[in-house]
Homo-oligomer: A and B are copies of this chain.
Amino acid sequence: MRIAVLVSGSGTNLQALIDASSRGELGPAQLCLVVSNRPGVRALERAADAGLANLVINHRNHDTRRAFEDALLEALEANGIEAVILAGFMRILSPFFVEKFENRILNTHPALCPSFPGINAPQQAITAGVKVSGCTVHFVDTGVDTGPIIFQEAVEVSPIDTAETLHARIQNLEHRLLPRATKLLAAGSLRVQEGIVSQHP
């Protein structure tokens, strides 16, 4: 299965996917394209270093979300992309885009959904004073961090945690779980029924 990874920043989750791929841990998932909506980001370097096709589709150069997504879809189609992984991609995808790739877009969110959707989830967790947070790898639907959940794992929040230290521990989980979910997706092992994900080996 031909996979595109969408990025906006440093790309540590992209790196986790690249590393998993080089260890042969992505099964039939093949990383074929990296697209960033921002130029000059570290994730693009990581893609180039790994020999992955990569390009920038700058949302600022498109007047509307639809125009941006049309350009994105064109790039995905030109590369025969069958599934999309959001790896720190900071644009919300419209229902138009999501429905084109129904149950074939994965995202990872640094909180235990449905808690703390949206940006700065680790800071939201610290501000709320929770004692447990974690990460969620899920299918993308038309909401913000609301789609069917594939994996969740918890981390303790300690009294001395900052948003940064908490986020770092959550990222360790993401780097393990996102490649695993990508492999299952590509293998056709994930089914979604009424919003519930089940695995079929």
A residues bordering B, Cβ < 8 Å? 112-116, 128-132, 134, 148-154, 159, 195-199
What is the count of identical protomers in the complex? Answer: 2
Choose from B112, B116, B128, B148 the contact partner of A129 (Cβ within 8 Å).
Answer: B148
A130 touches B152 (CB 8 A): yes
Choose from B114, B197, B198 the contact partner of A115 (Cβ within 8 Å).
Answer: B114
B154 touches A132 (CB 8 A): yes
A149 touches B134 (CB 8 A): no
Which residues from B are CB-within-8-Å of A151?
131
CA distance A131 to B150 in the complex (A): 8
CA distance A182 to B141 in the complex (A): 42
Cβ-closest 6 pairs across A and B? A154-B154, A131-B152, A129-B196, A132-B152, A115-B115, A132-B154
B159 touches A129 (CB 8 A): no
Q: Which residue of B lies closest to A192 (CB)?
A: B129
CA distance A20 to B58 in the complex (A): 61
A131 touches B159 (CB 8 A): no
CA distance A19 to B153 in the complex (A): 32
Which residues from B are CB-within-8-Å of A131?
149-153
- Beyond A114-B130, A115-B115, A132-B154, 5 additional contacts (C-beta under 8 Å) are A114-B116, A114-B128, A130-B149, A132-B153, A159-B198
Which residues from B are CB-within-8-Å of A153?
131-132
A132 touches B159 (CB 8 A): no
Minimum CB–CB distance for A165 against chain B, Å: 16
Minimum CB–CB distance for A139 against chain B, Å: 10
Minimum CB–CB distance for A117 against chain B, Å: 11
